[in-house]
């Protein structure tokens, strides 16, 4: 049996989630990003917000003006389109300078069987894709990490991770925009501002952007 993708499901009474697949991949992420772009350009008056994620795209709407089935019917032709070659799409390249002096750097090196220097080398020598923003404003889930650096989250999350901490967990890496609790391994710090509410586009990163970390002196 094949399932017609994307398939739609309600998220409460004011949102609809379109699921495009089940396995996380850059290809699927790109497809969802392009669908979100098309939807944004279509500028449907009933759509209040939309969020592309790993395998899903969620559309928030006002049920005062439209019901679930009617909205799903309008979304389907917009979401169901062939994927453009990546080169034609509009992602940006963002470089983030990092002082690799995080409190967990040595622990990460020990757990991954590498030297701290090699951890830094591997973390800072590739481009990461922005898969998702969330958790707190401006927090971007970046992947994919070098397989040697893939570790489970810390057993005990920290109550406060300082803003600007560069961290890894699983196949992901990211930067904490605010002081928040967190369970990722902290390997460095940056002064780059990830979220600035004074800007009309407050988040530095968008889904689909490419991010690279540059090691700078502590």
Partner 1 sequence: MITIVTAPPFLCVQDLGWQGYRASGLPPGGAMDRYALSQGNILVGNLPNAAGLEWALGSGSIRFEERSRFAVTGAVAECALNNTPVAAGQAYAAEAGDVLTVGRLLIGRFLYLAFRGGVDVPQVLGARATYLRAGFGGFHGRRLRGGDWVRFLPSDASGAAPGFQIPAELRLGYEDTTLRAVEGPQRRLFDDAVSQEFLEATFVVAAASDRMGYRLDGPAIRPRQTATLPSEPACPGAVQIPDDGSPIVLMMDGPTVGGYPKIAVVISADLPKLAQCTPGRTIRFRLVGLEDAQKIYRRQAVQLHTLRQLTQP
Chain contacts with partner 1 (rule: CB under 8 A): 9-15, 17, 24, 36, 48-56, 58, 60, 63-64, 67-68, 132-139, 141, 177-178, 180, 195, 197-198, 200-203, 206-207
Q: How far is the CB of 66 from partner 1 (least distance, A)?
A: 9
Gap between the Cα atoms of 113 and 193, Å rounded: 32
Q: How far is the CB of 31 from partner 1 (least distance, A)?
A: 14
Q: How far is CA 157 from CA 160, 161, 213, in A?
A: 9, 9, 24
- Identity of the residue, 8 or 100, whose beta carbon is nearer to partner 1 in the bound complex: 8
Gap between the Cα atoms of 177 and 136, Å rounded: 8
- Identity of the residue, 91 or 135, whose beta carbon is nearer to partner 1 in the bound complex: 135
> Nearest Cα to 44, choosing from 68, 6, 71?
71
- Identity of the residue, 15 or 168, whose beta carbon is nearer to partner 1 in the bound complex: 15
Q: How far is the CB of 29 from partner 1 (least distance, A)?
A: 10
Residue 8 β-bridge partners: 18
Q: How far is the CB of 106 from partner 1 (least distance, A)?
A: 27
- Identity of the residue, 106 or 181, whose beta carbon is nearer to partner 1 in the bound complex: 181
């Amino acid at each position: 049996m094949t399932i017609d993708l994307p398939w739609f499901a309600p998220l409460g009474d004011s949102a609809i989630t379109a699921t495009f697949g089940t396995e996380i991949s850059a290809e699927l992420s790109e497809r969802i990003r392009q669908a979100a772009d098309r939807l944004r350009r279509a500028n449907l008056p009933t759509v209040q917000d939309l969020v592309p994620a790993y395998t899903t795209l969620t559309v928030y709407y006002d049920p005062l003006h439209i019901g679930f089935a009617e909205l799903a019917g309008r979304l389907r032709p917009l979401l169901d389109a062939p994927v453009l070659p990546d080169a034609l799409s509009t992602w940006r390249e963002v470089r983030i300078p990092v002082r690799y002096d995080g409190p967990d750097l040595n622990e990460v090196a020990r757990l991954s069987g590498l030297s701290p220097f090699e951890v830094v080398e591997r973390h800072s020598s590739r481009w990461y894709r922005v898969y998702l923003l969330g958790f707190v404003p401006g927090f971007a889930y970046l992947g994919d990490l070098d397989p040697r650096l893939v570790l489970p989250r810390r057993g005990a999350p920290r109550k406060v991770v300082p803003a600007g901490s560069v961290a890894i967990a699983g196949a992901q890496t990211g930067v904490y925009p605010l002081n928040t609790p967190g369970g990722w391994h902290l390997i460095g710090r940056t002064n780059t501002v990830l979220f600035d509410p004074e800007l009309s586009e407050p988040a530095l990163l968008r889904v689909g952007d490419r991010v690279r970390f540059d090691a700078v002196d502590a």
